[in-house]
A and B are shown apart, each in its own frame.
Chain A
Amino acid sequence: MMAYIFRRVLYAIPILIGVNVLTFVLFFVVNSPDDMARMQLGEKRLTEEAVQGWKEERGYDKPLLWNSEEDGLEKVTETIFFKKSVRLFVFDFGRSDSGRDIGFDIKQRMWPSLAIAIPGLIVGLLINISFALLIAFFRGTYLDITGVVLCVILMSISGLFYIIGGQFLVGKLMNLVPISGYDTGFEAIKFLILPVLVGLIGGIGSGTRWYRTIFLEEIGKDYVRTARSKGLSERLVMFRHVLKNAMIPILTGVVVVLPLLFMGSLITESFFGIPGLGSYTLDAITMQDFAIVRSMVFLGSVLYIFGLLLTDISYTLVDPRVRLG
């Protein structure tokens, strides 16, 4: 087991290097730091000093890959690639273009993101699975058809409408909860209810349909027929056999997104004014803060790869047939 995990971590390294090089090319080679400076400063007649000053402040004044002015090892280390990209591997995100410590910001902002994402995930799973189980139980009847049609209709509505509609109905018309904002401690709950609720409703369509296909696939398998021919009632078959076996694909599907929960949701967080990592990223995009976007790209990839690793491990835990070689 440990050997397997170790090998998987080793596999992840070239991928992370790839991500790193890609972001480096995207952020520093496609457009030179000079271009970024001009874009940020944005004035028509820019002096060369102003551009130089902007670059010096943020450490973009070094050569990209090879600093021929330094000696020895510093030829490599005193470069943008080493200072800005390689440092990401030790999770040293450096400072944002506006001068804030990115690592500190991330540590602070991940909690609100998690506060929305975790309840949303758990309650969403419960609701979607129960709906899907219900529809699968009554498969072939009008309840099934109506359910599937409803799911397709719910899926066809853009997530933005759920958010705007939810804010309008619950927040503005009924005045139940504040429309947006955030607070510390238990006060935060009243700010969290609406985004979580909206997220749930928005996810019901695709979630229920997805789990329904998983259940239907399980129902078609041989062991279900065996269970029925033993004389088990349909209810027992569904709960004792189908649900248990369907948990394998369901669980592995969930595990892969677990680490990414830290990243939060760009749209939800910005709509509801929640100071999580999602709105952090979005703010950086609108303010064109390249350092933050670069850090978040890297962090997101790390978390995704971590999620894949967790998925593989969870396979072995829930399905004894799978052995890691």
Chain B
Amino acid sequence: MPTLLWTDGLVFLLMLMVGMFVLHVRRHDHLRRPWRTVLRSRVAMASAVILSIYLLIGFLDSLHFHPKLENPANTETQYSTQIKSVFDVLVGHLLEQDEKTYSAPFATHQFSKETVEGSDGTSAREYPRLKFGGAHLQDPVNDKSADVISIILKSSLKSLLIFVLLSLVIIWRIAVKKDWLIKDAIRSVFKGETETPWLVILMTLGVILWLLIIAWDLSHFYHIFGTDKVGQDVFYQAMKSIRTGLIIGTLTTLVMLPFAVLMGISAGYFRGWIDDVIQYIYTTLNSIPGVLLIAASILMLQVYMSNHAESFTSLAARSDMRLLFLCIILGVTSWTGLCRLLRGETMKLREVDYIQAAQAFGVGNMTIIIRHILPNVMHIILISVVLDFSGLVLAEAVLSYINIGVDPSMNSWGNMINSARMEMAREPIVWWSLAAAFVFMFVLVLAANLFSDAVRDAFDPRLREREE
């Protein structure tokens, strides 16, 4: 039975909006021009491929449902109260491979010693075999590396096959679209002569596919990032955290955008007392240090939630509510910058001839704002949205680390780092949770940073100056 969490709904709304925006841009040539620069940038396209893989995982993880309960006695279908996502089903094997406690990446034996009872009744302290990690091996000490290498080789072959097929499909599409012969299309793609850097896109896609397929195949036999304190697969946790990171990075913007745009434009357009009031509001909000405002609000949310525990049906709904609230409060602390930029730009625009003319013709204020001002400040909105993203993903980790971020029960990179803090003090150290969070976060933030730089350069290389 499908179910809709609050954040899921907003994610779909956001995707709908992005889709409509893309359609709108495609239809207007002057809007397409800056995007064409982005499309031609090699760095931007490589980052875009990486980002879309993240987005895909995040999207699959947002399709939630209540799984059916296996109950042969009852003919009526019943649904579990737990919530799962489509992504959970896809990587179902990771969910079922829980160990008892910590185990290192690719380990076959547990991380800590345990008293094991031998077949003859004697007990000994030793590292017990893992339930799933390398359980198919007879002699784990000698066979493991050969087994891992053979899996890697097999999946490399598999990914090469998929990659070749995929490239052929893409090249065929290019050939059809440009009315080229397949032969010419292949040549110009591999010589890097196409306008869109297809070679780079294919290469990035190939590398990601290769890594994903290897990870996927290995994860059936080993815990490739080890397991955490309660024996859960760290690779699974790191992938589940993608959704949290993406939601913080995108929904925060969605939440703050209406305020920032409405207030920024009306302050710049109407001037007078409206301008004074709006300036007062954002100066006041801005003068409270962001972390403290977030901390205070989250504290208050905690009080509210502990006193109204009955209004949250499940743990997932509760942590989802907290995630949404965190987005809202992050939005409240981060809209002021965009608002100020929009105010300044609108103040300049309202003196421009075509707006003066529209006013002289008696066009209503709302029409002027929507038809003339909004399209002309769109690039500022877009750039600030894209630039904010990576900062928000990083902020999530810091906030979760100091316990004012997402719910501790939620998978997030911040929570992984938080728990890693204790693990680093162990001897020998448990480094894999931290490493997994680091890799997943670093790739996402780096790709987002590179992509947003390309977008900024394409839309307005001089924006920095105006921000001053």
Contact = CB atoms under 8 A, between A and B. Distances in A.
B311 to A, nearest CB: 14
B96 interface: no
A156 B442 contact: yes
A217 interface: yes
A14 interface: yes
Contact of B302 (A19, A39, A159): A39
A281 B292 contact: yes
A213 B464 contact: yes
B interface bracket (residues with beta carbon within 8 Å of A): 35 or more
Interface string A209-245: 0000100010000000000000000000000000000
Contact of B292 (A167, A300, A308): A300
Interface string B401-435: 11110000000010001001100100001000010
A interface secondary structure, majority: helix
Nearest to A17: B284
Given A152-B449, A270-B402, A290-B299, A300 B421 contact: no
Contacts of B465: 217
A158 B299 contact: no
Given A31-B304, A160-B397, A297 B293 contact: yes
B interface secondary structure, majority: helix
Given A35-B304, A157-B442, A285-B299, A164 B401 contact: no
B153 interface: no
A51 to B, nearest CB: 12
B307 interface: yes
Interface string A32-75: 00011011000000000000000000000000000000000000
Interface in B275-304: 280-281, 283-289, 291-293, 295-297, 299-300, 302-304
A156 B445 contact: yes
Contacts of B182: none
A239 to B, nearest CB: 23
Given A26-B296, A281-B295, A288-B302, A159 B402 contact: no
A260 B291 CA distance: 13
A36 B302 CA distance: 10
A164 B401 CA distance: 12
Contact of A266 (B287, B291, B446): B291
B441 interface: yes
A26 B288 CA distance: 13
Contacts of B200: none
Q: Which of B281, B285, B296, B420 has the most CB of A within 10 A?
A: B296
A16 to B, nearest CB: 8
B417 A164 contact: yes
Given A22-B284, A300-B289, A285 B398 contact: no
Interface in B367-400: 390, 394, 397-398
B304 A19 contact: no
Interface in B299-329: 299-300, 302-304, 306-307
B395 to A, nearest CB: 9
B438 A161 contact: yes
Contacts of A27: 296, 300
Interface in A141-172: 152-153, 155-161, 164, 167-168
A77 interface: no
Nearest to B427: A172
B468 interface: yes
B453 interface: yes
B206 to A, nearest CB: 22
The 10 A-B residue pairs whose C-beta atoms are closest, nearest first, are: A18-B284, A300-B289, A156-B446, A156-B445, A301-B287, A31-B303, A304-B287, A297-B292, A39-B303, A285-B295
Interface of A: 14-15, 18-19, 22-23, 26-27, 30-31, 35-36, 38-39, 152-153, 155-161, 164, 167-168, 213, 217, 249, 260, 263, 266-267, 270, 281-282, 285-286, 288, 290, 293-294, 296-297, 300-301, 304-305, 308
5 contacts: A14-B280, A19-B284, A158-B413, A285-B295, A290-B299
Given A15-B287, A157-B442, 11 more contacts: A26-B300, A152-B446, A156-B446, A160-B398, A217-B465, A281-B292, A285-B299, A286-B402, A293-B292, A300-B292, A305-B287
